[in-house]
Chain A
Amino acid sequence: DQQVKQNSPSLSVQEGRISILNCDYTNSMFDYFLWYKKYPAEGPTFLISISSIKDKNEDGRFTVFLNKSAKHLSLHIVPSQPGDSAVYFCAASGDTNAGKSTFGDGTTLTVKP
């Protein structure tokens, strides 16, 4: 049973438009959520996170929204840039150790010039 799901394997958007990446989870014990970005042949890099006590966290062009009742979170990128083209992973943690995070399968974002 996959506890963190990213149901869209890929997403293509035009430069300057909004990118919305979605993530669903099933375990109600998760209380911390992180987004990572990964380029080919590199390790993932941290992008943004949100605690379960919040419903929104914003950092520049990146905003993460959390809907606890629906067990759903989304990452918004506005405006999208070609350099944002990468694989995005949603991760969830049930305790203070993000090193025990459960990852989704990732969404490949392509931003077209």
Chain B
Amino acid sequence: NAGVTQTPKFQVLKTGQSMTLQCAQDMNHEYMSWYRQDPGMGLRLIHYSVGAGITDQGEVPNGYNVSRSTTEDFPLRLLSAAPSQTSVYFCASSYSWRGKAQPQHFGDGTRLSIL
């Protein structure tokens, strides 16, 4: 039972490079989200999706792109990496409303450093 799987776990990039953070879930969850966590801070929502083919922006979307072609996968693309994007990135998934807001299941994060 894998849950939410994020790859890679660690990555170092140079300014201006692009890359894709992968996220996959095997729980058939409708909702998926990407957050970033900076030191001493909470999680801030980057982008989210309520189902395949549907995405929307969160609190801090600039510099990131997402797509959701399948229920299972929700990749996050950094278009041109900047040092301000150095952070820990978490992917999460959850069921849609079931009479109450469903809790999110998180991956273990990708630690990204931009030099």
Contacts and interface: CB of A to CB of B under 8 A. Distances in A.
Given A43-B90, A100-B48, A51 B104 contact: no
Contacts of A64: none
A101 interface: yes
Interface in A79-104: 89, 91, 93, 95-104
B24 interface: no
Interface residues of A, number: 29
B45 A46 contact: no
Nearest to B100: A51
Interface in B71-115: 90, 92-94, 96-97, 100-109
A45 interface: yes
B103 A49 contact: yes
A106 B90 CA distance: 15
A34 B101 contact: yes
B101 A9 contact: no
Interface of B: 4, 31-33, 35, 40-45, 48, 50, 58-59, 90, 92-94, 96-97, 100-109
